[in-house]
Structure 1
Amino acid sequence: MNISDIDNGLFFLINHGTSNAIFDRVMPFITAKGYLLIIPYLLYVVYRVYQRQRTKDRLKALGLSLSSVLWGFVLSAFAFLLSDWLSNELKHIVMRIRPCNSLADVRLLVGCTKSYSMPSNHAANSFAATVVLYYFTRQYVSAVISIYPLAIAALVAFSRVYVGVHYPSDVVVGAFLGTATALVIIVLFRYALSRYRIKPHLTLLFSFLFAISVFRIYYILHGPLDLSPDEAHYWEWSRRLDLSYYSKGPMIAYLIYAGTSIFGDTILGIRIMAVIFSALSSIYMFRLVNHMYPQQTESNGQLIALSSAILLQIIPMFAPFGVIFTIDSPFIFFWILSLYLFYKAINSQDSAQRFWLLLGISIGLGLLTKYTMAFFYICAFLFLLFSEKRHFLKSSKLYTALLISFIVFSPVIIWNFQHDWVTIKHTAGQAHVSEGLKLSFKNFIGFIGSQIGAVTPIIFVAMFYALFKLNGKGILQNSFLLYFSIPVLVFFLLKSIHGKVQPNWAMTGYLTGIIAFAKYFINEHRIMNNISCSLFPSPKKSCNFRMGAIAFGIGLALFVSVIAHYPSIIKLPPKLDPSSRLRGWKELGVEVSRIYDSIQDEGEVFILSDRYQVSSELAFYVKGHPKTYCVNTGRRMNQYDLWPDMNSDALKIRQNKQGINTINAIFVRIDNVDMPRNVAVAFERYEKKLFQVYDRGYLLREYSIFICYNFKGINTVIPEVY
């Protein structure tokens, strides 16, 4: 008899052998709503906490005890969510079929879903939550009563077998997983508590970053957003590593390659670096601010640092880049790292040379990420010129750092030399250089509106107020904040008069603005006291209306960031929902995969589009990650034009695979449109299929899918627009 036979035997022993009329009524309730049985215990614990306080300082003791219990409640909920996630991930690895779907003669008392069986989420979640509750509440109740939550968890686990939806081994593994999750959370909490007594602000920061990073990994795996077109395109770059690329430097491709080397060509493999770089950005923001304000008392200086680091995570302009991995995620990090190294370099004595060298490397890496890193040179020059540190303009250390940054950036120059300087042509096209002097009031207003929306109105106004109020005090640190903000923002503001400016182009101008905001409002004006005053009014407290508005502004920024992650909360139609660009691609990939499977027996199949965004999404979401192409039907140049086209690949296929003469294709275009003539004549015939994707009842996007037969060769047109 093997383990499977024993498991089946125990299943039928519980499912049939223990059956009775009482259990038939009680167990379905426990399996569905067992959590309700915990509520009396929670109320009893709160009552016992209040009753036991007989000390002289009763209110203080009561507060400490309630704090411990509340931590227990919060961490219990966190353990529940974490266990549920881990259980689901493990289920898809084990892929065990439920007994109610695989065995005959099962007494099924509840619905039997098609989800996998090992481990039991109910068992895992129950034990995760109740073990944490037991740990935090056991001191307030008797030993017998303290095990009540664990008994409920055991009942929930037993009920899953009794009602016929899990094997005994499923609930045993679930119980072990839940208990292990709870113990890890308890150990981490104890460690954080010990560290908090030594370094409270740093501990709070790392605890916050740990929690939000775990959430982001969960969101990447199970959230509603597909890869953005840019993410998919950069992933395509990572499959063809090079010194540089048509529109951007190579850093994004290298980082995605690193992520997919560990986690495979998956959405987590592509986006994991967004989680890492977002956390690193806050860590170095904290370090920068700590170094900038050493003359503050330790509490105040670290409060500014902590506030700045957390604001970076919740302001809508920056929050999405902790999940979506485009060039802006590492770019924000390299800008903040360069700020930190630059400030250290101009204020350090012993190891200044080391900081200048590291600064050059950091700026160079930033340039490999996004060319607007060049604004760092301008901001640094203006700061040095108009501050007491202007003597560094004559220092060889500064120019050594400049030279090192150019050396790090040199692969982009070499690549462009080899490719007719296409990046310069593209950048000139993005900047509308060929259009000459052109004024657009509409773009100007649109840019201002996008900045107010992305930063949120109150924080937007408060940042500028803080920047200029602090700079008026003539302190070096405050001038540093101003000169690394205003030049960037003013440039793009003026640029918006000439042509369209994307909302994220000026984002680095707000980084030191965040620090100014935290320094002026959160630290100097004690915003936390005013938040407390707003929540708990008292005649003895003087509430500051302006600071109440700032607190509301921070809350609004957090709310907008939450909505950006879950837009379905406010049920925006696709036309008003910016995140709609990140949905509907997976469904397209499934449909094209189905068509691909239906025609692949007839010969080789090419997959192509007339937009690089569609071609890249198809490369990722079509089964097997096939090579895709982007044909020119009058568009501007993109990276696909620099890679081998269909003609050259078709020739190789026919040469290497004897007897293969037929090459078919699937050509995808957005909207209900006709086949372009230059693509139509490349095939003997084609069929059109209209494919529509709906989201919450709205038409999200429609695609024209052309099934093309017998590729004859396509007339390659070199794009004239960059």
Structure 2
Amino acid sequence: MTDSSPDALWNRRFAWLLAGVLVFRLGFMLFFTSQADLAGDEAYYWDWGRRLDWGYFSKPPMIGWLMGLIGRLTGDAEWGIRLAPLLFGTATLATLFALSRRLFGSATAFLAALLILFTPGNIGLNLFFTIDAPLLFFWSLALLLFWLAMEKPTCLWRWAALTLTIGLGTLSKQMMLVFPLLMVVFAIVSRQDRALLRNPRLWLTVIIGTGFITPVLWWNTQHDWITLEHTKHHFQGDKLDFVDWLGRTLQYPALQTLVYSPLTFAGLMTVLFLSVKSCRLLDRRSHYLLLCSVPALLAILGLSLRQEINPNWPAVFYVPAFILLAAWLTGKLPFTARPFWKTWPLRVGIAFFVLAHLAVGAVLLTDLKGNKKLKKLHEMCGWTETGRQAGAFLDRVPRPQNTFVLTSNLRTDAAQLAFTMPQHPRVYRWERSGQVLSQYEVWPGPEERLGDDALIFQNGREKPGNVFPAISTCFEKIEFLGQVNVTLGKGDPRIFDVFLGHRLHKWVKPGKAPATPTAPAP
């Protein structure tokens, strides 16, 4: 007999919602994949996946490991890379429904899922495979598991699952290291949970979970702490005049409004403000969500006063805020939402959801996708054809077994060539500054290919027909072979000058002395 209770009804509705969303997004993903190539960062992470390690230039290893797994399972198919964020996003939505249902019931959980689902940011999260997809899943799962562990603090398996989740999240992005801190702080401030401070399971979870960062730290000790050096650049403020400072500062809330849709974002800010104002009236459930959102959001807001903030940085701290918003709209908080807030945020969110998909479809099916004013989509266009033309040059080199691919372009260009050339070659990159600015400078460079030839790709607009002198002096001679020229709709074409460098005799690795066959000691 079918359970006809209200909770069972909302559970079935969510199951149908999740299934419908999965089918729709699968279809949209296949359409998107047929019309646009990988984003530059996706190709870059894919290249990481071909050389598995305990760390990479800017991130812990999880995204590289996942890319490597996907490449091996799908034969480096683009649809496989696109499928991964869809599966992570679906699992995240199911996890958040489970957490919201545990806290406030199935009706509130269903509304929380809808509010999250109908945000522009959620569309991107399910379409592009970056570090945010696994991070948000592990963060959401940690929120659920910590609550379950607090409900039954003697259950070893709940703590073990939480430990593993924190560890895997830590291997996904450094932001996960904040979660164990939030656990300890909540145990301190919550009278009902203060006994956790005497529970060894809590401390073992914190120590072992954060301990997953150990191999990443070890890897960094072998590479001059390059990830730390890179991360430091995110927290360096620029000196700006008042007008530029004001514009940059206002950019942060403006982007958050676009990511979460205007009224939903306004609702999030409203419920957080009212919750802080009425903090003493809230129960333990709301205190938990409040602690896991407000302090970090305020810290990032303060940081926005001195530097530019990437729109994805605060994403994990909005997760509990969405549950609070749904609880407010369903009357589960001690202050009442007006009728306006109960209807319009979701209506506007649905409108944004529909318009965003229609807009992407319209752009991809017209020449607008090649318009350089649409920078992100413009950068994703034409790479399949670029790789085909580049691969044809590699097929014609005189010494194919002794020829490597070299580019002087951006790291994303190097990654796109590696992914889209039919041969999937190992691509080396020359960094003109002589600094380590990407994973390509961390890996061994062409110094390991002394005596070999190089197929060199260089931006055709920088030095047309001439390779950079710093590159040409490393070879016995340089031969101009032609161009890769790909039309990008109404935008400027992508042009690479192609050269063949004969017999590499030296190479200067960033931060190192020149590598030569004899390399005598000075």
Q: Which moved more, 1:582-591 or 1:242-251?
A: 582-591
Structure 2 equivalent of residue 208 of structure 1: 17
Contact 1:231 1:326 in 2 (8 A): yes
Give TM-score, length-normalised by structure 2: 0.85
Which amino acid in 2 is paired with 1:474? L
Contact 2:459 2:495 in 1 (8 A): yes
Structure 2 equivalent of residue 503 of structure 1: 311
Give the whole-Å Cα distance in 2 for the aligned partners of 1:214 and 1:679. Answer: 50
Which amino acid in 2 is paired with 1:645? G
Give the whole-Å Cα distance in 1 for the aligned partners of 2:61 and 2:30. Answer: 26
Structure 1 equivalent of residue 425 of structure 2: 626
Alignment of 1:473-552 (within 5 A): 473-521=281-329, 544-552=339-347
Which amino acid in 1 is paired with 2:491? L
Give the whole-Å Cα distance in 2 for the aligned partners of 1:482 and 1:582. Answer: 39
Which amino acid in 2 is paired with 1:587? E
After superposition, what is the alpha-carbon deviation per residue over 1:564-590, rounded to whole angstroms, capped at 9, x for unaligned? 643517958432453333223222112
Identity %: 25
| Structure 1 counterpart of 2:91, from 280, 287, 290 | 280
Alignment of 1:111-126 (within 5 A): none
Q: Which moved more, 1:449-458 or 1:354-363?
A: 354-363
Structure 1 residue 704 displacement after superposition: 2.9
Structure 2 equivalent of residue 254 of structure 1: 65
Give the whole-Å Cα distance in 2 for the aligned partners of 1:631 and 1:520. Answer: 55
Give the whole-Å Cα distance in 1 for the aligned partners of 2:448 and 2:500. Answer: 18
Structure 2 equivalent of residue 127 of structure 1: none
Structure 1 residue 457 displacement after superposition: 1.3
Provide the secondary structure at the position in 1 that maps to 2:228. helix
CA distance 1:519–1:690, shift in 2 (3 Å): farther
Aligned residues: 492
CA distance 1:519–1:644, shift in 2 (3 Å): same
After superposition, what is the alpha-carbon deviation per residue over 1:185-231, rounded to whole angstroms, capped at 9, x for unaligned? xxxxxxxx978999333333233333333343344444222111111
Structure 1 equivalent of residue 499 of structure 2: 707
Which amino acid in 2 is paired with 1:515? I
Structure 1 residue 629 displacement after superposition: 0.8
Cα RMSD between the aligned structures? 3.1
Give the whole-Å Cα distance in 2 for the aligned partners of 1:698 and 1:456. Answer: 30
Structure 1 residue 338 displacement after superposition: 0.6
CA distance 1:376–1:349, shift in 2 (3 Å): closer
Structure 1 residue 544 displacement after superposition: 4.0
Alignment of 1:346-357 (within 5 A): 346-351=150-155, 353-357=156-160
Alignment of 1:143-542 (within 5 A): 199-223=8-32, 224-293=35-104, 301-351=105-155, 353-388=156-191, 389-432=193-236, 440-471=245-276, 472=278, 473-521=281-329
| Structure 2 counterpart of 1:687, from 465, 480, 486 | 480
Higher RCO (CA 8 Å, separation ≥ 6 residues): 2
After superposition, what is the alpha-carbon deviation per residue over 1:60-118, rounded to whole angstroms, capped at 9, x for unaligned? xxxxxxxxxxxxxxxxxxxxxxxxxxxxxxxxxxxxxxxxxxxxxxxxxxxxxxxxxxx
Give the whole-Å Cα distance in 2 for the aligned partners of 1:620 and 1:196. Answer: 52
Structure 1 residue 416 displacement after superposition: 1.4
Structure 1 equivalent of residue 458 of structure 2: 668
CA distance 1:718–1:601, shift in 2 (3 Å): closer
Give the whole-Å Cα distance in 1 for the aligned partners of 2:250 and 2:181. Answer: 26
Contact 1:303 1:523 in 2 (8 A): no
CA distance 1:429–1:377, shift in 2 (3 Å): same
Larger helix proportion, structure 1 or 2? Answer: 1
Give the whole-Å Cα distance in 2 for the aligned partners of 1:454 and 1:691. Answer: 36
Structure 1 residue 335 displacement after superposition: 0.5
After superposition, what is the alpha-carbon deviation per residue over 1:146-169, rounded to whole angstroms, capped at 9, x for unaligned? xxxxxxxxxxxxxxxxxxxxxxxx
After superposition, what is the alpha-carbon deviation per residue over 1:395-439, rounded to whole angstroms, capped at 9, x for unaligned? 433211111113322221221122222211121123228x79999
Provide the secondary structure at the position in 2 that maps to 1:505. coil
Structure 1 residue 549 displacement after superposition: 2.8
Contact 1:261 1:269 in 2 (8 A): no
Provide the secondary structure at the position in 2 that maps to 1:704. strand
Structure 2 residues not aligned, in runs of 5+: 513-522
Provide the secondary structure at the position in 2 that maps to 1:705. strand
Give TM-score, length-normalised by structure 1: 0.63
Structure 1 residue 310 displacement after superposition: 3.4
Give the whole-Å Cα distance in 1 for the aligned partners of 2:491 and 2:87. Answer: 35
Structure 1 residue 601 displacement after superposition: 6.1
Structure 1 residue 688 displacement after superposition: 7.4
